[in-house]
Structure 1
Amino acid sequence: MKTNLAIKTQNLTHTVKTAADDLTILNDISMSIEEGESVAIVGASGSGKSTLLGLIAGLDVCSDGDVLLYGHNLSKLDEEKRADLRGQYVGFVFQSFHLLPSLTALENVMLPGELKGDKDAKRKATEFLEQVGLEHRLQHYPRQLSGGEQQRVAVARAFASSPKVLFADEPTGNLDSENGKMVTDLLFGLNEKQGTTLVLVTHDASLAQRCSRQIMMSSGKIIESLGKE
């Protein structure tokens, strides 16, 4: 299904059950993100940013409403079909890196391609590690890498699978300012080079301002959208 929209939500609401009562985390959110956009989702802790990211990435299913990823309604799909779509369209960079400790940097970056049966996975992984400045760390394990180096491996892994949309949840949250700037430059540089849609959750104002649009959240609602709608 062809569309110029990467993501569209319609009346998205998400409620979870607690011991005391039902808790509405997101309330009636409708928005769209075009192909190639860079969008920052910002707001105070507890505003629903990470929950929104998880729903539009297909990691979870909303209680009500619709989430469309390249025209596919994630709200109507089971976990297996959502996983297939994530493999086809989506890459992730998280605050906590999520590298497999038993694999080298090269093997971590190769893994998504190998799972897809890409016979060129090793060459692509090597090229992306070179692009993030880690050509001398290919055979190092995560425990042998600094935090900044681990996050650069995670960025290389995300882009090596050539995602149409890259989701990043606080990608610089565990990094010092120097490594944070390096990872930010990588995200936007690779985003621009590949035309990948970039969706970030961040508390970092300077990172948010580099995006073409900022979606500001409070109490589970979008209260403002700055930039191109």
Structure 2
Amino acid sequence: MDTDHTPDNILVQASRVGKQVNGPGGNLTILQDVSLRLASGEVTAILGASGSGKSTLLGLLAGLDEASSGTIELFGTPLNSLTEDQRAALRAGKVGFVFQSFQLLPGMTALENVMLPLELAGVSRPIDGARAALDQVGLSNRLNHYPGQLSGGEQQRVAIARAFASAPQVLFADEPTGSLDQATGSRIIDLLFQMREQTGAALLLVTHDERLAARCDRRLKIENGRLEAEA
């Protein structure tokens, strides 16, 4: 299962990836024999039931977790050859994340949350980039508010600003509308795709939201730990 792309365009490549964990009943297989490619500018949705392993796969592809078998390359670099710090350095400034639970630091303002990845990537004047990103998502009047002072939709907009602030080559999104009501989720979907179109970033998202998946270039589905193209 895959589409053909020239190697130079491939940002993420997984080959026969498996993930097993030890559970109360013994070894549990979450993913098996998963292969995929994500090319520059491509938008791919991975669908699956709760517990199907789609979020686990996203974490493996982004180098947030380690596969039990197979190989994963990010920007042409095998992740299994890198330490955790080296994987973080590889992602810096090139990878953005949007999570269902927002993952904002509660002790930092909206502005500080967006500035943080820019600072880690060594961007000069990170405050300028953070202000511009928050303005793009319509939150220029919320710069000094803490996450606890923001609605769920506003928190996700901060997270989207943070993800796109460094103009990443690839964005990983894990159930970005999962914690939001339908109306707010629809606005977040529009914003996510608007920002992606402006930056040209590749987008790989996992979701059970058919509205979100319908807007992607291709749809893949995890079932019984295996990844297949959706008919």
Contact 1:13/1:64 (<8 A) preserved: yes
Residue 218 of structure 1 is matched in structure 2 by: 223
Cα deviation, 1:112-161, whole Å, max 9, x if unaligned, reads 11223322211111111111011111111111111100110010011112
> How far apart are the structure 2 equivalents of 1:199 and 1:122?
27
- After superposition, residues 96-115 of structure 1 pair within 5 angstroms as 96-115=101-120
Counterpart in the other structure of 2:38: 33
Which residue does the alignment assign to 1:193? 198
Partner Cα separation in structure 2 for residue 215 and residue 24 of structure 1: 19
Residue in 2 that maps onto 1:206: 211
Q: Which residue of 2 aligns with 1:9?
A: 14
Q: Is the contact made by 2:93 and 2:118 (CA closer than 8 Å) also made in structure 1?
A: no
Residue 44 of structure 1 is aligned with which of 41, 49, 65? 49
Amino acid at match of 1:182: R
Tell me what 1:128 maps to.
133
Which one-letter code corresponds to 2:46 in the other structure? I
- The one-letter amino acid of 2:145's match is H
Contact 1:89–1:163 at 8 Å: present in 2 too? Answer: yes
Q: Which residue identity lines up with residue 164 of structure 1 in the other structure? A: Q
Most deviating of 115-124 and 125-134: 115-124
Amino acid at match of 2:97: F
- Aligned residue for 2:157, secondary structure, equals helix
* Cα RMSD, aligned residues only: 1.3
TM-score (norm 1): 0.94
Post-superposition offset of 1:59: 0.4
Q: Tell me which moved more, 177-186 or 32-41.
A: 177-186
Aligned-residue offset at 1:182? 1.5
